[in-house]
Structure 1
Amino acid sequence: MSSRRSSRSRQSGSSRISDDQISDLVSKLQHLIPELRRRRSDKVSASKVLQETCNYIRNLHREVDDLSDRLSELLASTDDNSAEAAIIRSLLNY
């Protein structure tokens, strides 16, 4: 029983994210998210970076949904056998 506990604690200890890894991730996110790149301040909290990242991802999802709707409408208005319809179908299935 005690060997299971020590094994489990070693496993959970080795899978924990280090402070350096968190800092590295926050730094990478700061460079990827346009809203954070525009800011002059070098010191942005990790929670702010994560909040902006979530907002950015939500906006991307909305844009994808809007584009999908527009492509579906366009597909509905084209001839099913046309080259344009084939291109739109490939975009919707990609």
Structure 2
Amino acid sequence: MSGRTTRASQPTEDEIKELILKLQALLPQLNHRPNTKASASTILEETCSYIKRLHKEVGDLSQRLSQLLHDSAEFVEVDEELITRLLSNIN
């Protein structure tokens, strides 16, 4: 895949490499070793796993917040349904 023969809508190899390096920098399990090169497939697999973990964490935190709002007398005036809807829009 040469940069000269690709269509304008397709990223060049250099652009893909740059994006892979940016992803690696965002991954906690890989960014503590900045001079270590991981393969692109490893970085993409780790990115998918990390996003799945973050989605689960958001869901767990949303559920916990909903439970706290439901159980807490301090938040009686807060519209629990509205907060739950807003939190589901984040996912």
Query: Secondary structure, in 3 states, of the residue corresponding to 2:56?
Result: helix
The answer on 1:31 being equivalent to 2:31 is no
| Matching of residues 66-85 of structure 1 within 5 Å | 66-79=60-73, 80-81=76-77, 85=78
How many equivalent residue pairs? 79
Partner of 1:13: 7
CA contact (8 A) 2:20 2:43 kept: yes
Question: In the aligned structure 2, how far is the partner of 1:63 from the partner of 1:55?
Answer: 12
Query: Secondary structure, in 3 states, of the residue corresponding to 1:16?
Result: coil
Question: In the aligned structure 1, how far is the partner of 2:32 from the partner of 2:83?
Answer: 32
> Which whole-Å deviations, capped at 9, do the CAs of 1:27-47 have from their partners, x for residues lacking one?
111111001123476221101
Q: CA deviation at 1:13?
A: 1.1
Indicate which of 26, 47, 50 corresponds to 2:44.
Answer: 50
Query: Secondary structure, in 3 states, of the residue corresponding to 2:7?
Result: helix
Moved runs in structure 1, 4+ residues, more than 4 A? 88-92
Unaligned stretches of 5+ residues in structure 1: 1-11
Identical columns (%): 42
Kindly report the root-mean-square deviation, in angstroms, between the aligned alpha carbons of the 2 structures: 2.3
Question: In the aligned structure 1, how far is the partner of 2:57 from the partner of 2:15?
Answer: 31
CA contact (8 A) 1:75 1:89 kept: no
Question: In the aligned structure 1, how far is the partner of 2:20 from the partner of 2:81?
Answer: 38
Greater C-alpha Rg: 1
